[in-house]
A and B are shown apart, each in its own frame.
Chain A
Amino acid sequence: MSDEPLRGSTPEDPSGFVRAVDERGAATVGTVGGGLTPTGRKGGNPVSRVVGHPLFGWLVIAVAVALPFVNSSAYAIRISTDALIFIMLAVGLNVVVGYCGLLDLGYAAFFAIGAYTSGVLSTTFGWPILATIPFVVIAAVIGGLLIGGPTLRLRSDYLAIVTLGFGEIIRITANNLDFTGGPNGVFGIPDFGDFGLRSDIATYWVVVVVVGLAVLASSRLGRGRLGRAWRFVREDEDAAEAMGIHTYKVKFAAYVTGAIFGGLAGVLFAVHQTAISPPSFNFLWSALILMAVVLGGMGSTPGVVIGAIIISLLPELLRGAENWRYLIFGVLLIVVMIFRPQGIWPHRVEEKPDRGRRRRSSPEPEEVAR
């Protein structure tokens, strides 16, 4: 436990970093490297190859846009809007858990912050919903600062339980304060405008656009320089730090990005439901979002999207078996972690080198790890 602090190195007494590499080298390759990244080569199983195909995303978007022409019943529109909002939450949490490896168990808190900020501003103060969005972002960032600030410096386990507490704080606070409507919540939240369409379909299309952009943004983020830093931090934080990554800043960026995604999803939720109340934001929500991310494959955007669709549409198929459903989810989390930690549709590791410029670049660390 009480390892001596890192001192200057002498030939007899190698520096902490050298010792770390010596001790950890084999273990890191064996466990961490094999842990979250898939072990199979070339895209793995057929499903994940289909899912990972570039055209797949376009196909999903086409289906989502075309849905109201195929089936415009209020029920179909409602559950698809729910599913889309859930996708947004899942890709947001994927940035935190999947890319950066920080376990956030109170993600519904940001969802609540977004929903309440825009709900209160638009009903009590009569603002149009679009005008509330900057304030939602600000509120979500402040929430991220409050929780991430103190805890991201500590071991990642602390973050898990503090966020769990934070989720409860937000829910109880919303329940107790007057301007959030107490246990009754906020109701009569306006929509984005109906553009001459049926109002639920108009909302649905707005949600499709926003969620589509969010999915795109999160998958792009994961592929950039910052995304690589996130993955590095996830695989081995100490090594990442030794390589000159400011791990605190990088983790913070992931956490705040996740917060903003959650907040914006909250706005969509408030508009879609037109009424929000504290029980909508309990721990179950956070756990379900996490479930979607883990099941779909942490760090894999297409996988997470599919995971979210499954988790959000499953209850519609399994009505009446609520408790069984959650029992199965719990067992499934354990089973997935033991037997298939990379998720059902894992992320493809191979990064295509940029055309021309990086053709001769050496293989990614994950490649070496195998």
Chain B
Amino acid sequence: MEYFLQLVLNGLFVGAFYGLVALGYSMVYGIIKLLNFAHGDIYMLGAFAGYTMLTIGAGALGGGSLVALVVILIIAMILTGTLGLVLERVAYRPLRSAPRLSVLITAVGASFALEYGIAVLYGPNPRVYPVGFGNAAIEIFGARLTWAQLFMMLVAVLLMVALDTWVGRTRSGRAMRAISQDPKACLLMGINVDNVISRTFFIGSALAGAGGVMAGAYYGKIDFLMGFIIGLKAFTAAVIGGIGNIRGAVLGAVVLGLLESFGTAWLGSEWRDVFAFGFLILFLTVRPTGLLGERVTERV
């Protein structure tokens, strides 16, 4: 029973990370139907932004206090968000009316450029995060959950709720939803489509960046390829939940986190990624629209 609960907690924790990245994936796909392969690398950039700030400002910030970490988290989010915006502007906007294949290849190129750009800047070897969390933990019915894990899950949930409110309640959230339904009509209705798309990229990238900083602080080690696998996982999560659906992305991430947690316990951790991607393929076969996705007929 304790073991079971432990697995559930682990799954929820990993799911929170996946969720932060999956949200950006899903939002961007929902609004311009682009698979942003570089999204996982934005997460990696967030981790490196946090690393740089922590290394430079370690003295000024007085080590790894919680407040310092939150400040760094926010700065890193702004940085990665801006980067996402620039990426959209430079690489994706010129190709908005180009064939889908060109855009996909551009996204692969962007991902490559970001990864190896960081490899050139920081060297290919893993870096160790200058802060770590203690192992102080609370026990919940015998299952361990460290304070750090709890804190990160809270931050993730907070960000997700904020996003959901923003999309559901504000004017610009409504513009976003409108564009995902019909960009051309939005243009006619006087919505500044380019602006809204930029905003979407900013928010999605900022969330991924936040995930990156937290992952760096939690796992303690970062390298320039860390975004590759998580990008794939986040996509899997987005597909499970129904791609383009924001709540679906979170649900999918939690489901994927739990599946992985139990799959790992069952098959061993070396099969974790195979299990997750195998599940992606299975899911696309059985229910390609995801758990919460509506049936969409392809528009011609």
Contacts and interface: CB of A to CB of B under 8 A. Distances in A.
A29 interface: no
A168 interface: yes
B278 A169 contact: yes
Contacts of A213: none
B159 interface: no
B99 A287 contact: no
A4 B37 CA distance: 30
A3 B299 contact: yes
A327 B113 contact: yes
Query: Considering the complex of A and B, which 3 residue pairs feature the smallest CB-CB distances, nearest first?
Result: A333-B109, A330-B112, A330-B113
A271 interface: no
Interface in B247-300: 270-271, 273-274, 277-278, 280-281, 284-285, 288, 294-300
A172 interface: yes
B119 interface: yes
A221 to B, nearest CB: 19
Interface stretch (B11-19, B89-97, B135-143, B201-209): B89-97
12 contacts: A1-B182, A6-B297, A31-B97, A35-B102, A147-B281, A165-B280, A168-B274, A172-B271, A238-B298, A326-B115, A329-B112, A337-B105
Interface residues of B, number: 58
Interface in A327-356: 327, 329-334, 337-338, 341
Interface of B: 33, 35, 37, 90-91, 94-95, 97-106, 108-117, 119-120, 124, 180-182, 228-229, 232, 235-236, 239, 244, 270-271, 273-274, 277-278, 280-281, 284-285, 288, 294-300
Interface of A: 1-6, 16, 19-20, 23-24, 27, 30-32, 35-36, 97, 101, 103, 105, 146-147, 149-151, 153-158, 160-162, 164-166, 168-169, 172-173, 175-176, 234, 238, 283, 287, 290, 294, 298, 323-324, 326-327, 329-334, 337-338, 341
A173 B288 contact: no
A97 B113 CA distance: 21
Per DSSP, chain B at the interface is helix
A262 B236 CA distance: 26
B228 A283 contact: yes
A31 B98 contact: yes
Given A97-B101, A327-B119, A333-B108, A165 B297 contact: no
A332 B109 contact: yes
Contacts of A153: 288
